[in-house]
Every structure is written in C-alpha cells, then in structure tokens.
Amino acid sequence: MNNNVLIIGFFLNDRNHWTSGDCGLPAIPESTKLSLFKSRYAEQSVISYECEETKDQLIEGKHRQCLNHRWNGSLPRCAKEVEAVLLKRIEITEMGGRQPLYREMKWSAVEPRRMARIVNNNAKYDTTDCPKTRFLWSVNQSQSWTFHVLRGYYFNYFSLRLRSAGGSLRQLYDQNRLQLSATMEDIISSKRCLLERFRAHDTDPLAEVISFVCDKSERQMIGAQEGVDESIEKIVVRAVVAVDDHAVNITTTFCDLRLYVLSESCGSPEKPLNSDHLVREKTYTVFTCREGFHLVGHQRVRCSPDGQWLDPFPRCLPNKTCPIPAIDRPDPNLFVQYKHFYDVNGSQYGVPDDLAIYSCVNTTTNATTKQVIGPISRVCRDGKWTGSQPGEMSNSQNDHRAKYMNAMSGLEVVEHDGVIQKVCWLEWMLAIKTVRVRPSDVFVCGYPKSGITWLQEIVCRIVSDGVVGRDGHRIVDDVMATKNNHLSSFETLDNPRIVSTHFEAKYLPSFATIDCKVIYIVRNPKDVCVSYYHFHKMLKEYGSGVDWDDFCHLFLSGQLLTGDWLSHVNDYWLTYGTRNHPNVLFIAYEELCADLTAMVGTIGRFLGKQLTAETVANIAVKCTADAMRDSFINPPEFRSNSQFIREAKVGDWKRHMTEHMSALFDKRYGDGLRAIGLPVCDHMEGAIEYMSKTGRIIQRN
C-alpha cells in the first residue's frame, strides 16, 4: 500500500447501512461457551470464552475483540481433564547426571480429585500444605523431573501444581533465569511439549500452575502398549537454571499432576456478516454470501484432525467496492484517510458511501507543507471513487499558520486530534460523548459562524411556544459547559435540555441509536469565512492577527479554530444526512434567510410541536436579525465596540473576496459537496429559487 495512505476506521451502527466495524458471530471451539452470544457485534466489542466444565482448562487466550470486521486474538480451546491419573513413581535427576537425586517409589495410586479434603461437603484443596507432596527442590541447579504414569490414557496437555517459598518460578522465568521444557516418552517414541502458560491456582493461593501443550498433530496414548502387561510411560520436565552471580533461594514442592485431552472437533465456525448459509462437514466448512455480496478469502475452511481451523475465515463484501488507495496518479505529498473500509487478510477495500479525505503532508516529518487544491474528499459509488484526485499548492514556510497561532496565543488554544481547539472546550469535548442523553434533549450543531446562535433562538422559542428566547433558557454550549460548571450539573437540568456545540459528530453520542433530536445547520463556506474573520477580530485576546488573504488560505487548508469546514460538514452528512435519520434534521442558513417563517414551521414539526400559524409568525418576527441584534448582549470576551450579529445575509462574501479567491473556494468545496450530494447556495437568488421550486434547499430530510 502507498505509504501516504492512512486507514482510519469510523463506523456506524445503523443496521440498514453497510458498517465496516461490526463483526458476525465468532467461532466457538468445542466445549467452550461465550460470555455474550448474538448474531452481530459492534466495533470494539470484547467477548470472553470459558469452558463449559469448570474442571477443564481454557488455553491459548480468553478474550477477543472485534476490530475492523475481524475478531482479533487467538481462538481459545478447552482441554478436558482425564478423570483418573495414576502415578507409579517420581524421579528427580540433576541435569547431566545419571543417578537420581530423589526417587519416590511409594507414590500410591491416588486420583487427583481424592487429594482434596472434604470441607462442608465441598471438595477443596488444602491451603496449608500440598496434598501428597513428595519432593523438595532448591532452585540452585538444573534438574529434570520424571513422572512415571501407569495404565493407559490419552492426553496432549498437562499441568503441574507447585508451591514455591522465597520467590516464584514465574519470576525466574520472566527474568530469563529459568527455562522449562518437557517431553512425553514411551518405549516407542518421544514427543515435545511446549510451555503454554503460568497461572495462579484457583483454590490454592500459595501455588502456581505450569501448563504444557504437547504435539497437537495426534493424541498421545500413555500406557497399555500392545504386548506389554504393565507399561510405564514418562513425562519428563526439564528445568534449566541460568548460571549467574545472583543467589537463588527459592524452594519448590510438587503438589499434583493433571492430564488433559484436547478435542478433535473444531466446534462451531465463525458466521461472517452477510453470509448466507454454511455447509458443515467433519473436516471442513463451506461459506457462501447472501445476494448483493461476494466472498473474499477461503470459501472452504479446513478443520485439522486435532481440532484447529487451518484457514482464516472469509468475509462477505458488497459487490461494488472501490480500490484502496484512492490514488489516480502518484503524489508523494498527498495523504488519504478513509471513513469506512473493509480489511480482509491485509487487503483494504472501500465500501459503498466510503469517504476518502485528502490532505498534504511531508511524509518524512509528518508536517503539513502544502495545501490541497480541489475537492478534499471523494465518495465510493458503484465501485468507483467519485470526482478526481486533488492537487496541491506550495506553502513551504507555513507562514499563515505561524501568524495565526501567534495571534491566538492569548486565547489558550491547543491542538487536539490535529485540530486547534480552545482549552476550555476540551473537558466538555472529552465528556459529552458519554453523557446520558434524554429523549427530550435537543442538540443544535454546526461549524462556527454558520448561524448556530440564530438556530438557538429559534429552538428556544419553539420549545417554549414562543415565550422564551435563548436569553431565558439555560443552553449548554461548549464554553458554558465548563465555565459555569454545567458539566457536573448537566444531569440536573430540566427538560428539554438544549445542547449547542461546534464539535464534529465523532465526539458526540451516537444519535443513530438514541431517541433525541439533532439539528445541524450548514452555511455556504464563503460567507462562513467572512463571518469567522470578523468574529476573530472581535475577540479581546486575539492579537494583531492575520490579514484577510492569509485568513482565507487558513480557512481553505482547515487550519483555523475548530478545523476544516468540509470535514465538519462531511462528518455529520455522511453519518446521518445520507441515511435520512428520522431524529436528525439538516437545515441551510440560506433557507432561514429565504423564508424564515416556513423554516420555523419545519423545525417546529421536527421537534414535535403543534404550533399555530400565529405562534409561528410571532416566533419568526422575534427571530429576525434586527430583533436579535437589538436584544443581544455581547459576551465578556468580545471587544466593547463589537457587533456579534453583523449582516446576517447571504452573499456578503462578494464584498470581500476577489474573483481568484472565490474560484479557489469553488474548486476546494464545490466538487466535494457535489460528490456527497449536499446542495449549498452562496447567493440569495439561488436560495430563493430553490425554496420556490421545492420548498427546501436540503431535500433529504
């Protein structure tokens, strides 16, 4: 993949839309069960496995996580305990020596389960001493421990319970001062066993359990060899102690040996999302996809004789995917991010409505050195990326940004997730995603200077039947949430709570699954830039600032406070607008200017208010720019001669922008907006024409 391509997953939970992050039902190995069983799991879901029988051992991992349509983490297995293991004798031999240092010949044929004491009719291990302890090892020399097992057993997994004083074997192992290995041996063959894990004992707090998994290709039979009346098989554990200057004063006693067998069955296979049905046989499973999707990966996934899946599970992709990277021609300065994508065994695919977002970076320093010219985003439609790849304009000195950051130094700003934000916003930004949302809540959202204050006034009037405006309603916005301690008192506010924010959708609760109301207002970027420029000049703490031309270039490159305008709009529109979500309303600033009364009625109906024509007309009168300008009180951070509500009209950009700058805006935003199907008007005549023909500029709501 091109080094300039960054895959960033941002996933939706709407079941009716393609979502790249969700996972289907994971594979369930034989004799295991899931902590949470369902047919679909959301991105980042974590599942836990456990054995159906508490006496059995779970090996090779317990937790798995759904990431990018894939279950990450090894698939666990349950080892079933052999019921009656009979030990003939134990021998301890110094490594390299011939004569045993210790031999226990009197080990009686005792089942491990009978090594427990009966306490209140419950079998529990003695926590004061190891039952049937037979040898003591001072960890100062390498040794081999040989366990002679009598009679016939199948097993391919075993564990030792040991008690240590003065330290632990696990600690020595982690310090690379102890190596442990094992073999299973009979009169015919020898098979290697690998250390699987250390763990604490469930009921014996003084003991640690060391487990080994043996050759998985076939089960090993212990004892009962043909023609041998009383064959004795061996499990040999080799403990190699590193020779160093550190004294080792740990003493270890043996408690018991447990043998287990791993199932020959693979259990239930994974059920990928959008798969149709599975054809299951003992040694393989065949996968197919439902209509509209095609299979990527192995159609036939094999199951080995020792109960393990040999092939990765396939995925079902939409029939019309787009190639990744979305690069038509090589460009070392172009950097691409993706909102949705599908990863199958290391190969990425763009899915329907996937968004490719372009920016310019220095691939060595990761610093922005150029500016994108043309659309910054493309959409995956019918297997192709819409539009064309953008170019870039040199900005090697980055003078505009340096001037801007210097001017903003008095405002306490910080860069968060690559976007300049006010420090006072961050606490609310990090907390708002997890707030408990009520059905009566109304979220008013938009990029700065898009008319969000105007929209606040309209919403406040509507929910109060025209009586109370924004000055009489306790609105929670990005600044007030932290300054007035609204963050801690948010739960105590009366209904309906009105939350106003400039944050992108990714920082907010997922409204796709929440029954509240969200209104997003969008304004043409040329007028937004003009209004934002004057807004900066109103701030007391804003220094000498940058001139108009530099400010426009900063706006075009998304380097102003709150980040890139088009990314902000895309985040909401592609998350909710293209889905026609019933609880999310998109309105255009230009619609309010063209027919305020009609839009008050539209917003009122969306909020579920039955307003009379007289009330609607009254609200419209009180929400005109002149009425709001007369009653508006400037915030204390504004200069005394500032006028927060300035022109409040469409097309003010014509008095500020040159033809060349206007063309740059058209190139930067026009193609991108057309690609996602969002109409935006930058002149009043167009807005009126839209409204007269269809009643709305934004038709999808």
Q: How far does Cα 155 stand from its chain's mean position?
A: 40
pLDDT above 90 (res 657) = yes
Q: How confident is the model at residue 373 (pLDDT cuts 50, 70, 90)?
A: low
Better-scored residue on pLDDT, 448 or 319: 448
Q: What is the pLDDT of residue 117?
A: 32
The answer to whether the CB of 652 falls within 8 A of the CB of 530 is yes
More confident residue, 382 or 310: 310
The pLDDT tens digits of the residues spanning 477-486 come to 655 545 554 5
For the chain, give the number of residues. 701
Helix (H, G, I), strand (E, B) or coil at 169: helix
d(CA 127, CA 203): 8
Alpha carbons within 13 angstroms on the beta-carbon side of residue 326 total 34
Closest CA to 522 of 677, 373, 662: 677
For residue 489, the surrounding DSSP H or E stretch is helix 486-489
What is the distance between the alpha carbons of residues 87 and 111, in angstroms, rounded to a whole number?
A: 9
Amino acid at 235: I
Instruction: Work out the angle between the directed axes of helices 548-556 and 525-538 (0-180°, nearest 10).
Output: 120
Please say if the pLDDT value at position 614 is more than 90. yes
One-letter amino acid of 226: E
**Whether pLDDT at 327 is above 50:** yes
- Opening angle at CA 683, ends 677 and 689, nearest 5: 70
Question: In the predicted model, what is the mean pLDDT of the chain?
Answer: 76
Question: Above 80 in pLDDT, residue 87?
Answer: no
Average pLDDT on 67-89 reads 78
Q: Summarize the confidence of residues 86-99 as an average pLDDT.
A: 73
683 is catalytic: no
| CA–CA gap between residue 692 and residue 679 (Å, rounded) | 15
pLDDT recorded at residue 228: 42
| % of the chain with per-residue pLDDT over 70 | 74
Q: What is the pLDDT of residue 120?
A: 33
Quick one: pLDDT band at residue 343, thresholds 50, 70, 90? low
Rounded to an integer, what distance in angstroms lies between the CA atom of residue 338 and that of residue 326? 9
* 181-to-149, 219, 232, 477, 593 alpha-carbon distances in Å: 18, 19, 21, 63, 79
Dump pLDDT digits (tens) for 192-247.
Answer: 888 888 888 877 778 889 998 887 544 444 444 444 444 447 888 888 887 665 66
Measuring CA to CA, how many Å separate 318 from each of 1, 23, 295, 392, 677? Answer: 21, 15, 9, 33, 21
**Higher per-residue confidence, 19 vs 80:** 80
Highest mean pLDDT among 89-93, 339-343, 445-449: 445-449
Instruction: Name the pLDDT band for 125 (thresholds 50, 70, 90).
Output: very low
Question: Which has the higher per-residue pLDDT, 387 or 327?
Answer: 327
Asked if 646 and 499 count as a contact pair (C-beta separation under 8 A), the reply is: no
Round to whole Å and give the CA distance between 469 and 632: 11
| Mean pLDDT calculated for residue range 63-83 | 84
Domains (range + CATH), the chain: 1-9+273-396 (no CATH), 23-79 (2.10.70.10), 82-262 (2.60.120), 399-531+557-629+646-694 (3.40.50.300)
Q: Is the distance from CB of 62 to CB of 76 less than 8 angstroms?
A: yes
pLDDT of residue 488: 59
Residues with Cβ < 8 Å from 510, sequence gap 6 or more?
A: 13
Over pLDDT 90: what percentage of the chain?
16
Structure tokens at 266: 């693979």
The whole-number pLDDT of residue 579 equals 67
The pLDDT assigned to 479 comes to 56
Q: Residue 104: its pLDDT value, please?
A: 62
pLDDT at 227: 43
Residues 6+ apart with CB under 8 A from 89: 103, 104, 105, 107, 148
Give me the pLDDT at residue 235, please: 86
Burial classification of residue 439, based on how many CB atoms lie within 10 Å of its CB (0-12 exposed, 13-18 middle, 19 or more buried): exposed
- What stretches of 151-305 adopt beta strand conformation (E)? 153-155, 157-165, 178-185, 190-200, 207-214, 220-222, 232-241, 251-262, 275-280, 284-289, 293-296, 300-302
Strand positions, DSSP E, 339-441 = 342-344, 347-350, 355-360, 370-373, 377-381, 384-385, 391-394, 413-416, 419-422
Q: What is the pLDDT of residue 405?
A: 76
Catalytic hit among 502, 536, 553, 568 = 502
Q: What is the pLDDT of residue 407?
A: 74
The band of 122, judged by pLDDT with boundaries at 50, 70 and 90, is: very low
Confidence grade of residue 153 (pLDDT, cut at 50, 70, 90): low
User: What per-residue confidence (pLDDT) applies to 619?
Assistant: 92
Per-residue pLDDT of 453-506, as tens digits, reads 899 989 999 988 877 776 666 677 655 545 554 555 677 778 888 888 888 888
Per-residue pLDDT at 396 exceeds 50: no
Say which range, 62-71, 91-100, 118-127, 539-548, has the weakest mean pLDDT: 118-127
* Residue 52 scores a pLDDT above 60: yes
Comparison of pLDDT for 473 and 682, the residue scoring more = 682
Inter-residue contact 71 to 25 (CB < 8 Å): no
Mean pLDDT, rounded, for 337-347 = 69
Report yes or no: 315 and 343 within 8 Å, Cβ to Cβ. no
- Give the residue, 642 or 262, on which the prediction is more confident: 262
User: Using an 8 Å Cβ cutoff, are 596 and 620 in contact?
Assistant: yes
